[in-house]
Amino acid sequence: MPSHRMGRITEDVKRELTAILRKVKDPRVQGLISIVGVDVTSDLSYCTVYISAMEGMDRAKEAVKGLKSASGFIRHELGERLPLRKVPQLLFRPTDSIERGANIERILNDLKEEQRGEDAP
């Protein structure tokens, strides 16, 4: 499969999964969780979905447990929304990228404040 087609399929899967997550009723999935990345194998048999939560890695792990239990519903919805011959099996993985990004932003803001303090007379 050409790489531009796989990129388009990956983006479509990510967009639709984001919309489907809003419909999941499991309380472990509710809250500030987001899909950070999606990797689809070239034969469309597996799709790894990277989940991050604003509250940290423990919250992302809880969300992954809820998503695993709802994976049948999510896969069915994905199959109805996308015109794919084969709907990939969904593998959910937690990641702390949102927390890491917020930490980097905090460090940069602290450095800016220090620099402003040194520049002031």
pLDDT of residue 71: 92
Domain assignment of residue 112, yes or no: no
Average pLDDT over every residue of 48-59:
89
Alpha helices (H) along 22-96? 57-69, 71-81
Domain assignment of residue 121, yes or no: no
Domain assignment of residue 101, yes or no: no
Give the sheet arrangement for strand 33-40, strand by strand: 33-40, 46-53, 89-94
86 is in which domain, residue-wise? 3-96
Q: Please state the domain count of the chain.
A: 1
In Å, how far are 15, 39, 116 from 97, measured between CA atoms? 19, 16, 28
Domain assignment of residue 114, yes or no: no
Domain assignment of residue 115, yes or no: no
Cα–Cα distance, 90 to 68 (Å, whole number): 8
Domain assignment of residue 102, yes or no: no
pLDDT of residue 47: 95
List pLDDT tens digits, range 61-96: 999 999 999 999 999 999 999 998 899 999 999 998
The CATH number linked to 20 is 3.30.300.20
CA angle in degrees (0–180, nearest 5) for 7-8-14: 90
Domain assignment of residue 106, yes or no: no
Domain assignment of residue 113, yes or no: no
